[in-house]
Amino acid sequence: MSDQERADIKNNNYKGVLLHGYYTYGDTPGVIAYYKSSTTQADDQGSIIQIDSNLKLEHKFLICDVAYYGLQRKQSGIPLFFQEV
């Protein structure tokens, strides 16, 4: 995210951002919309992301596919694994 994009969110020029993948474009089950947040909760690298000391983004997952957090299947389809934790 560029400095200008962060400034635009802070100044309410944008409501938020769309994330199209965890590692690469399209590797999540769908696009995730993150919005500017005033939550006091800590960054959990999923639903709450601390961009800098003055900006948090949040997505309220109703149902969360683990692929949103980087869990992927090997080519054979078995087993599931985490690339990063």
Token pair, residue 15, equals: 């409501």
Q: Are 67 and 22 in contact (CB under 8 A)?
A: yes
Q: Is the peptide bond before 29 cis (omega within 30 degrees of 0)?
A: no
CA 55, CA 7: separation in Å to the nearest integer? Answer: 9
- Stretches where the chain sits below pLDDT 70 are 63-85
Distance CA 47, CA 50 (A): 10
How confident is the model over 44-66, as pLDDT tens digits?
888 899 999 999 999 987 766 66
